[in-house]
Structure 1
Amino acid sequence: MSIQVITYAVRFWSGGEYKALFLRHEGYLGAVGAFLKTCKNNNSTERKALWSENYVVSSSNTPFSDNPFESKPYATNHSKGETDFNKVPPHDLSIVNFSVGKVPNPKHLIIAQKAEESKSTLKKYHRAKAEESQSDTLSDASDRSHQFAERYKRFLRELSADPSGRGVLTVRCLLSAQQHFLREYGFGDVFCLQKRFENRGALSALMDRLGELSKLDWSNRQLSLIEGLLAGNMFDWGAAEAIQFLKEAPKNKFGAADFHVILDKVQSRPWLVDNYDNWIDRISVSGSPYRCILIFCDNSGADIILGVLPFAMEFLNRGCKVIMAANSSPAINDITYQELELLLHMIASFEPLIAESLNNGQLMLAENGQTSPCLDFRLIASSLVQLAEREQVDLIVIEGMGRAIHCNLNAKFTVDTLKIAVIKNSWLARRLGGQLYGVIFKFEPVLKSR
């Protein structure tokens, strides 16, 4: 009705010279406002909550699903055919814009197409992992995993026919839609088993890795720490080429790819984007180079335990505070806040520096408010934003292909930023003018005004 009235008014008062055009989410704010106003439980906490954006429903009349799996029985009363909107779950956290982001750009890579073989490989692999995650507990896991695969395949066909039907087509859109469909068909943490044995393998190798680093002089240790971050970033089950690489790599006794084998595969300098010398110049000062470092973590297993943690410990030893932020909900094999908290307290039982840093508040853990493999700085958990402001974060570290490249390669911040990732996708490598497994090491210091 509102659209019709506005359209008629514009046409009438302009004498037919102007035509009203409406953006993709016409009436969005009004509709959400009306929805919230009718909710009975309208307390202050509820008003601060945020419902996540839906990437799979277009502005057209395309049906959402031919045969949707009812994975959210709380939303519908089937006997009465009614919906209890007060029970539709928002995010558990208050989500806000990240305060130190000057030009947050979570949609850096706009795509027109992706290699069909890559999409096919990922779809099949994630279907298999979805089935595997529940095969011992739910008898219909196989059927639902096939339903997920068919639904995602249809979604990709719809995008091929109408690439702009859901707004600007980005990698973030594809990744978020994938997680949406997995949850729609009842799969919460698809890679739970994969993460479990990779964590075990990485934990068993941690003390050896720390021992290796302790034997190096300062200069060589800094390079080895960065190479460890890059090697850990290879443990990514969200990229087709990486999946094949990890399957073929030699395994440790836990069945995970051997970290040292992956470490030897890290590309030597010079890298595709190589600001390493500037980084070393910045941290080679005496004393503590930064007040507080905020690290946005990526994968479970070797990435977080053998890559990120030794890097964080280097700065803890130099007196810096460190905040490690992880996803609020599962996505591919990314580590979640709950998993990170459990892992760090487990490591604290045999690593004194971690135990002391957790106890005295020098090392802090936080959830970032994200539910996909991407990192959208417009929608960060308010608790993390408040923590970053309180601790006066002056370095942000973004690691991983999805977070550092797909979403934030060109994002600008008001503090120093380090973006580090391995390119594990041939299409992306060509797009950036590099090769598969090329390295992005982008250090962006903030110029201090005199």
Structure 2
Amino acid sequence: MLTSPSLFDLPHPVKGDVAFPLLSDPENYVACQWDLEEHPEKRAHWIGLFRTHFDSLEQQAIAEASARGESAEAVKPKLAVVRELFMTYLDQIEANPTVFGTLYIIQICFAREKALREAGIADPYRLAKAKENEAALKLLPALFEELDSLPDPEKAQQVMRGTFAGNIYDLGATKTVELFKDGKPVDFHDVRNKLAPRPWLVDGLDAWSEKITSEKPYTAAAVFVDNAGCDVILGMIPFVRDLLQRDVKVVLTSNSYPALNDITHSELVPIINGIAQWDKTISNALDDNNLRIVPSGNGAPLIDLAHVGEELVDAVNEMGVDLVVLEGMGRAIESNLNAQFTCDSLNIAMIKDTGVASALGGKVYDLLCKYQQR
């Protein structure tokens, strides 16, 4: 173990203090299934990915600073600090993967976020998220109308397909960064129409569809969302709305702190409140306290459910949650793929990384719908 002081020995600023209450075995829970010391090929892949991805992060940070009136000349020295801190860290774990303890992907994510915060760069993807949110919101009323016109089980299955189509907006995955380069739009409906055919890599859709279309399927769901833009707005908000229409209460939770293009709690609240101005399902759910929007306590693209926020824990307990939904590659595959809960759970994600695809025996753009019933 490294004993000399370094940035990465400091208390961590971006995770909560309490365990998620529905973990079946919190004492033995491990967020990530791949110990990178034991898997050198995976370690090489992810260290290489973090190195090459940093260039696109810098571009996003410069654009975001410019939108706030900060010049590139002002932000570049900060980015140089981040690069030096983070690349030094990557060099260290490449030379000795246990230099800071057991190495999982989430530790590398935390290190990057700490380096950004140390240099005073709070949210490099703020501008990109705002633009994608604005574009996606324009499409939402028509999408609600389309989904409401469908009978079950077609509606439930189309809602699920929408979660995959929306999840393509991921500026942390190498295969999708290029799709959104220079602000290029990606057609949600086109992506949905071209999803991988069934059976998917992990395909629990039939069991999910049968359960969710039954009478009173659940009391309440805790829904962990991923990215901003079409992911949360065109994918997960329709999913949440569908649950509410089936008399399932929802605890909707997102990051407390910025990480890549993940939606944050402070960004999600005004989006939901805005939708409530014109959609009765969302409006009534908020008024009746059947939809609660809470921060997760997290500040990384993956999530360690042993360290979440107290507000989330309180909401889960008060609402009587009996379904856990983890959405997105970071929360549902790179972490928590094998997490066990005291209730039913649903992991849903589109695979957008060659390393993840290889680890699961699939390919990029394969789909995972892992539904576990207790």
TM-score (normalised: structure 1): 0.76
Alignment-derived partner of residue 35 in structure 2: 110
Choose from 46, 66, 69 the match for 1:137: 69
Letter paired with 1:118: L
- Listed one character per residue, the Cα deviations across residues 269-313 of structure 1 (whole Å, up to 9, x for unaligned) are 111111112212222312x21101110111111111111111111
SS in 2 for 1:384: helix
1:96 deviates by 0.9
Aligned positions of 1:184-223 closer than 5 A = 184-223=118-157
Does structure 2 conserve the Cα–Cα contact (< 8 Å) formed by 1:93 and 1:382?
A: no
Letter paired with 1:230: F
Does structure 1 conserve the Cα–Cα contact (< 8 Å) formed by 2:156 and 2:213?
A: no
Against the structure 1 CA distance between its residues 64 and 312, is the aligned structure 2 distance closer, same or farther, given a 3 Å change threshold?
closer
Alignment-derived partner of residue 285 in structure 2: 357
User: Higher mean Cα deviation, 90-99 or 172-181?
Assistant: 90-99
Against the structure 1 CA distance between its residues 133 and 247, is the aligned structure 2 distance closer, same or farther, given a 3 Å change threshold?
closer
1:97 deviates by 1.1
Alignment-derived partner of residue 392 in structure 1: 320
1:362 deviates by 1.1
SS in 2 for 1:325: strand
Partners of 1:118 and 1:363 lie apart in 2 by: 37
Letter paired with 1:170: Y
SS in 2 for 1:169: coil
Alignment-derived partner of residue 5 in structure 1: none
Partners of 1:183 and 1:257 lie apart in 2 by: 31
Against the structure 1 CA distance between its residues 127 and 289, is the aligned structure 2 distance closer, same or farther, given a 3 Å change threshold?
same
Aligned positions of 1:1-400 closer than 5 A = 59-61=2-4, 63-64=6-7, 95-103=17-25, 104-111=29-36, 112=40, 113-115=43-45, 118-135=49-66, 136-139=68-71, 140-247=74-181, 255-286=184-215, 288-400=216-328
Partners of 2:316 and 2:322 lie apart in 1 by: 9
Alignment-derived partner of residue 373 in structure 2: 445
Partners of 2:12 and 2:197 lie apart in 1 by: 45
Identity among equivalent pairs (%): 32
TM-score (normalised: structure 2): 0.91
Aligned length: 361
1:62 deviates by 7.2
Partners of 2:232 and 2:253 lie apart in 1 by: 11
Partners of 1:93 and 1:185 lie apart in 2 by: 19
Partners of 1:396 and 1:341 lie apart in 2 by: 20
- Listed one character per residue, the Cα deviations across residues 7-59 of structure 1 (whole Å, up to 9, x for unaligned) are xxxxxxxxxxxxxxxxx5xxxxxxxxxxxxxxxxxxxxxxxxxxxxxxxxxx2
1:258 deviates by 2.2
1:336 deviates by 0.9
Q: Give structure 2 stretches of 5+ with no counterpart.
A: none
Partners of 2:15 and 2:84 lie apart in 1 by: 32
User: Higher mean Cα deviation, 151-160 or 132-141?
Assistant: 132-141
- Listed one character per residue, the Cα deviations across residues 111-161 of structure 1 (whole Å, up to 9, x for unaligned) are 232336533431101111122221343341022123322332222111111
User: Higher mean Cα deviation, 180-189 or 273-282?
Assistant: 273-282
Letter paired with 2:117: R
Alignment-derived partner of residue 81 in structure 1: none
Does structure 1 conserve the Cα–Cα contact (< 8 Å) formed by 2:253 and 2:296?
A: yes
Partners of 1:346 and 1:247 lie apart in 2 by: 28
Does structure 2 conserve the Cα–Cα contact (< 8 Å) formed by 1:60 and 1:165?
A: no
Does structure 1 conserve the Cα–Cα contact (< 8 Å) formed by 2:153 and 2:213?
A: no
Aligned positions of 1:403-422 closer than 5 A = 403-422=331-350
Larger helix proportion of the pair: 2
- Superposed CA RMSD in Å reads 2.2
SS in 1 for 2:251: strand
Does structure 1 conserve the Cα–Cα contact (< 8 Å) formed by 2:97 and 2:103?
A: yes
Does structure 2 conserve the Cα–Cα contact (< 8 Å) formed by 1:206 and 1:305?
A: yes
Q: Give structure 1 stretches of 5+ with no counterpart.
A: 1-23, 25-58, 66-87
SS in 2 for 1:378: coil
**Higher RCO (CA 8 Å, separation ≥ 6 residues):** 2
Partners of 2:321 and 2:111 lie apart in 1 by: 32
Partners of 1:157 and 1:207 lie apart in 2 by: 48
- Listed one character per residue, the Cα deviations across residues 78-111 of structure 1 (whole Å, up to 9, x for unaligned) are xxxxxxxxxx999699721111101332122222
